[in-house]
Structure 1
Amino acid sequence: MKEFPVTAKRALELLGLFLIGYILLVGSSIIMPILMAFFISMMLLPVYRFLKNRKFPQIIAISLPILLMLIIVSGLVWFFSAQIQILIEDFPLIKKNINVHLNSLSQWIRGFTHFSTEQQISFINEQSNKLLSGTGAILSGILGSVSGALIFFGLLPIYIFLMLSYKNLLLKFCIMWFSDEDLPSVKESIKQIEDIIQSYLMGLLIQILYITVLLGGILWIIGIKHALLIGVLFAILNLIPYIGALFGNILGVMLTVSSTQEVWPIFTVLIVIAVVQFLDNNILMPRIVGSKVKINSLVAILGIVLAGTLAGISGMFLALPIIAILKIAFDRTKNFKKWGVLIGDDVPEENPLNK
C-alpha cells in the first residue's frame, strides 16, 4: 500500500489539530464537564479500589468518594459565603478606606502632572458612566455564567459516578484499538497516565492546603485583615500556572487596600506572597508532585492561554495534565513522536543543524 507523502502527513496533522480546537471551542460546555469528571474520577480511583478490596458493594464504593468530594466543595462554598457576608458588613468602612487612598493618589498625581483634582474627578466620573452603561450586558453575562456553572457542577457527580461504574468497559474500548503486540506498551502508558493524573491532582490539593495555612497564617500573625480569605483566594488562583499568581496578587492587594488606610500592609502582603510563592515554586511543589513528564515553559504557557480561550477557566486548570497525557501518547507513537519532542523540555545543547 502506497504511503502518503510527508507533506500530506503534516497537512493532515495540522488539519486534525485545527478540527480538535474547533470542536473544543464549539462544544466546550459539553466536553469540559466530561474531561473534568475524568480527571476527578482518576483521583478518586484509589479510594474506590480501597473500598472494593474491603468488599464494599460497588454502588457504595463509588458513592462514598463522591460524597466526600461534595462535602469538601460545600465547605469551600460555605467559607466564601461567610467571607462575602463579612465584606458586605464592612462596606461603609471599605468605602471610607478607598476614599482615603484615592485622595492620596490624587494628590500624588497632582504633584507631578498638570491634572487638577477636579479634572481627575471628571475623568473618573466619565469612565464610571461608560462602565455603568454596560451594566445590563455585564449582569446578563454573570447570570449566564452562574447558570452555566450550576449545570457544569450538577453534571460532574453524575459523570464521575458513571465513569467509575463503567471504567472496565471504557478501558476495554481503548484496548480494542490496538493489536496484541502493542498491549504491553498500551498498558504501560495507561499506568503512567494514571500515576501522573493522581500525583498532579493530589499535589494541587496539598498545595491549596499548605499555601492557605502558610500565607493566611503569616498574614494573620502580622495582623492583616481578611488574612485567611487572601490565603484561600491566592491558593486557588495559583492552581492556574503562571497566570493565576498575578491575579492572586491583585486580589490580595485590593482586599488589603479596602481594609486599611495605611500603606505598609499593602507592601507586607506583596512581600509575604512573594516569599510563599518562591517556596512553593522552588522547594515544596517539585517535591510533592514530582511528575515523570516534563513540559517546557513555552508550550505550557501557550497551552494555558489557548485552553483558556477555547474552554474558559476550566480549560486553564486542565491544560497541563492534558498536555502531559498527550506527551505520553506522542512519545509512544512513531508518527507523532516529533510532537512529544516539541512538548518536552529536553533541549539539545548543540544546534541540531550542525549534526
Structure 2
Amino acid sequence: MSQGKKILFYSTLVFVGAYFLFTGLVEAKGFLAPLLTGIILSLVVLPISRKMEKIGIGRGITSFLSTFFIFLLSLAFMWLISFQAKSFVDDWPEIQETMKPKVEQLKSFVMEQTPLTKEDLKISEEGGESAIVGAVSNNKAKALGFFSQTFGFLGTYLLVFIYIFFLLNYRTKLKKFIVLLFADEKKKEIQKVVNKSGNVVQEYLVGTSLLMLFLAIVYSIGLGITGIDNFILVSMIAAFLTLIPVVGNIIGFSLALVLGYLTTGETSVLIGIIITFSVAQMLENYVLQPFVIGDKVDLHPFFVILVVILGGATWGVIGMILAIPVMAIITIISLNVPALYPFGYLFSKKAPDKKS
C-alpha cells in the first residue's frame, strides 16, 4: 500500500471511529452521565471521608455521611433556585409591562437597520402566538411529558448518590482492580498515574467549588447594590456558568442585562451590572483563578474550549461540566504512557518535548 493510500485509510478509520464513538456516547447518556457525575462528586467529598476515617470512623459510615452531606447541599441549592424562580414568575407580568418600551425600541432599530418591515415582524409575532395556542391546546400531552421527565430526573438524581456511596465505600477495591489489569513491572507506574489523576481532578473540583462560591458572593453584593430584584438567582446562575469557559461568563452577563436593565430601563442599573461583572472578572482572572485553582489542570486553552463544545454537543449542559475533569484525566494518562505521550503533549500547555 502506498503512503498516500495509508494516510487515506487511517484518516478514514479515525473519522469513522470518532463518529461511532460520539454516537455511542449520545445513546449511552442515560447510563454514563449519572455514573461520571457520581465519580466526579465522589472525588469532591473524598477529603471529607478521609478526614473522618483518620479519627477512627468506619468507611461505610463515612461514605454514607459524605454522600448525605452532598445530598443536603444539592437540596439546599435546588430549593434556593426554585424559591428565586418562583419569585421571578410571580413578578413576570410586571416585568413584561416594563420591558414593552424596550421591545418596541428594539423593533424600531431592527426595521431601521435591516431590510425587515413592520409586516414581517407582525407575521413573526402571529406565528409565535399560533405556536403558543397550539401548545396550550395540547396541555394533556404536555402534562404527561412533564411528569415523565420529572420522574426520570428524580430517578437519575437519586442514582447519582447511590453511585457516590458505593464509589467511596469501595474505592480501594476499584483502585486495586485497575492496577491488577496490568503486568507486575507496570503496577507501580499505574498506581502513580491513578493517584495523580484522582488528586488533580479532586483539587480542581474543590478549587472550582470555592471559586463559584466566591463569585456568587461578589455577584450578589454587586447586583444587590445595583438594585436587581432577583439578584440572588442571577448571581447563582452566573457563578455556576463559570464552569463553562468563556461562554458561561457571556451568558451570565446577558442574563443580568435581561433581568436587570431591560426590566427597569435605568442607566444606573446598566452601569452597576457592567461594573459588577468587570470587577468579578478581574478577581476571577487575577486573584481567584491563580490562588484557588492555580495550575491544577494542565490543559491547553484551545482544547478546553474544544472539549466543552464537544461535551455540550454530546450530553448538553452536564457534558459541558464534565468535559474538563474527564479531559484532565485523559491528559494525565497520556503524559504517563509512552505510546500516548504525543497526545498528552498536544493537550497539555506545559508538557516538555521529549525529543528536544
TM-score, structure 2 as length reference: 0.85
> Residue 218 of structure 2 corresponds to which residue in structure 1?
214
Q: Is the 8 A contact 1:217 1:228 kept in 2?
A: no
> How much does 1:23 deviate?
2.6
- Residue 198 to residue 113, structure 1, CA distance change in 2 (3 Å): closer
Map 1:263-274; keep pairs closer than 5 Å: 263-274=267-278
- Residue 59 to residue 112, structure 1, CA distance change in 2 (3 Å): closer
* Aligned residue among 166, 172, 175 for 1:162: 166
> Residue 185 of structure 1 corresponds to which residue in structure 2?
189
- Residue 347 to residue 178, structure 1, CA distance change in 2 (3 Å): closer
In structure 1, C-alpha distance between the alignment counterparts of 2:305 and 2:61, rounded to whole Å? 40
In structure 2, C-alpha distance between the alignment counterparts of 1:111 and 1:293, rounded to whole Å? 48
* Aligned residue among 316, 338, 343 for 1:339: 343
**Mean alpha-carbon deviation: is it higher for 153-162 or for 184-193?**
184-193
In structure 1, C-alpha distance between the alignment counterparts of 2:79 and 2:255, rounded to whole Å? 20
Identity of aligned pairs, percent?
A: 24
> Residue 300 of structure 1 corresponds to which residue in structure 2?
304
1:42-71 deviation per Cα after TM superposition (whole angstroms, max 9, x unaligned) = 121111122122222333211111111111
> Residue 98 of structure 1 corresponds to which residue in structure 2?
99
> Residue 126 of structure 1 corresponds to which residue in structure 2?
126
> How much does 1:334 deviate?
1.9
> How much does 1:129 deviate?
3.4
Paired residue secondary structure (2:338): coil
In structure 2, C-alpha distance between the alignment counterparts of 1:177 and 1:18, rounded to whole Å? 28
> How much does 1:178 deviate?
1.6
In structure 2, C-alpha distance between the alignment counterparts of 1:171 and 1:347, rounded to whole Å? 26
> How much does 1:39 deviate?
1.1
**Mean alpha-carbon deviation: is it higher for 87-96 or for 18-27?**
18-27
> How much does 1:131 deviate?
4.5
- Residue 190 to residue 80, structure 1, CA distance change in 2 (3 Å): same
> Residue 249 of structure 1 corresponds to which residue in structure 2?
253
Q: Given the alignment of the two structures, is residue 275 of structure 1 paired with residue 279 of structure 2, yes or no?
A: yes
Q: Is the 8 A contact 1:230 1:251 kept in 2?
A: yes
State the superposition RMSD in angstroms.
3.1
Paired residue secondary structure (2:339): coil
- Residue 169 to residue 101, structure 1, CA distance change in 2 (3 Å): same
> Residue 57 of structure 2 corresponds to which residue in structure 1?
56
1:13-38 deviation per Cα after TM superposition (whole angstroms, max 9, x unaligned) = 77665554333121011011111101
Q: Is the 8 A contact 1:307 1:319 kept in 2?
A: yes
Task: Say how many residue pairs are matched.
Answer: 345
In structure 2, C-alpha distance between the alignment counterparts of 1:207 and 1:231, rounded to whole Å? 13
- Residue 164 to residue 11, structure 1, CA distance change in 2 (3 Å): farther
Paired residue secondary structure (1:93): helix
- Give, as a single letter, the amino acid of the residue that structure 2 aligns with 1:308: G
Q: Is the 8 A contact 1:207 1:285 kept in 2?
A: yes
**Mean alpha-carbon deviation: is it higher for 100-109 or for 218-227?**
100-109
- Give, as a single letter, the amino acid of the residue that structure 2 aligns with 1:285: Q
Map 1:317-336; keep pairs closer than 5 Å: 317-336=321-340
Q: Given the alignment of the two structures, is residue 43 of structure 1 paired with residue 44 of structure 2, yes or no?
A: yes
- Residue 123 to residue 238, structure 1, CA distance change in 2 (3 Å): farther
1:155-195 deviation per Cα after TM superposition (whole angstroms, max 9, x unaligned) = 11111111112212211110012222222222221221122
